[in-house]
Amino acid sequence: MKDYYRGIGMTSDRTRDRLIKRIKEQGVQNTVVLDAIRGIPRHIFVDEALASRAYEDTALPIGYSQTISQPYIVARMTELLIGNSKLPFKKVLEIGTGSGYQAAILSQITTWVYSIERINVLQQQAKQKFKALGIKNIVTQHSDGSLGWEYKSPFDAIMVTAAPNALPKMLLDQLKVGGRMVIPVGLGGSQALMLIVKTSTGFEKQVLDRVSFVPLLEDCM
Ligand code: SAH
């Protein structure tokens, strides 16, 4: 790996360990998740001008009015997605590739990540990052993620990183029985973070936290 990927100064191991400590203090316990956050260099997924802030526990702009999620939220959502499931998952669907950071974290817990993004430029940039890091198990698609990826379904888990007003039915349909979906739902700047588990008779739904995500929009660009 080139030095830039390994990180120096503000992107060094020590800086990353501080972030892990903070995420743990906020209640994330799953060591698989913490190891994934430690192992994937977040500074690669932001603009070089912001690299020195990559290990602060904060969302950062990635262009096109979009953001890379706060590391704690990535950790929390990944932990909820896993629950008590046996890892690795076979197939995880992510809606909203964005910077690619969450997809890279997911790549550590599943055989295949399928990730959909509506903004082509962001998707192309994310693909370059995966390549640079040698991550080979993320497959991407440029389309409206609310329709899911039926051809590859059913999924063990679905992670939605942009907020719809209501649960997208097509995504629910593409979950396996026993499969889990983590999704922010609601209008405006603040949404309910929901965990949905598909059972043989229907869906178990829980509201967990208040979160703030960009809206899930249908049109592609
Ligand atoms: N998971 C990302 C978070 C990016 S923000 C990361 O780790 O960086 C949410 C992303 O969802 C944005 O890139 C936005 O363009 C995308 N998005 C919004 N609506 C979408 C839709 N209907 N289908 C696919 N992607 C969508």
Closest atom of ligand 1 relative to the 122 alpha carbon: 13
Q: Is the pLDDT of residue 8 over 60?
A: no
In this structure, the residue with its CA closest to atom 10 of ligand 1 is 96
Residue 168 lies in a domain: yes
Where in the sequence is the domain holding 133, given as residue range(s)?
Answer: 3-211
Residue 79 lies in a domain: yes
Which CATH number fits the domain that encloses residue 14? 3.40.50.150
Average pLDDT over residues 189-196: 95
Crossing angle of the two packed helices 71-82 and 13-25, in degrees rounded to 10? 60
Residue 217 lies in a domain: no
Q: Which helix H or strand E contains 122, and what residues bound it?
A: helix 120-132
pLDDT of the residue at 188: 82
Residue 107 lies in a domain: yes
Residue 216 lies in a domain: no
Residue 220 lies in a domain: no
Structural tokens at position 179: 């499969």
H helix runs in the chain, sequence order: 3-6, 13-25, 31-39, 71-82, 101-106, 120-132, 169-173
Structural tokens at position 144: 């409206």
pLDDT of the residue at 11: 64
Compute, in degrees rounded to 10, the torsion defined by CA atoms 133, 138, 143, 147: -150
Mean pLDDT over the full length of the chain: 94
Provide the percentage of residues in the chain whose pLDDT is more than 90: 90
Q: 98-143: per-residue pLDDT in tens?
A: 999 999 999 999 999 999 999 999 999 999 999 999 999 999 999 9
Residue 219 lies in a domain: no
Q: Is the pLDDT of residue 3 over 70?
A: no
Confidence at 7, pLDDT banded by 50, 70, 90: low
Query: For residue 154, is the peptide bond before it cis, meaning its omega torsion is within 30 degrees of 0?
Result: yes
pLDDT of the residue at 15: 87
Query: What pairs with residue 194 in β-bridges?
Result: 183, 207
Q: Which long-range contacts (CB under 8 A, 24 or more apart) does 189-194 make?
A: 191/163, 193/76, 193/77, 193/80, 194/167
Structural tokens at position 31: 């060591």
Q: Is the pLDDT of residue 56 over 90?
A: yes
Instruction: Count how many domains the chain has.
Output: 1
Ligand 1-lining residues (CB < 6 angstroms): 66-69, 95-96, 98-99, 101-102, 116-119, 122, 144-146, 161-162, 214, 216-218
Residue 218 lies in a domain: no
Q: Is the pLDDT of residue 9 over 90?
A: no
Whether 69 is a known active-site residue: answer yes
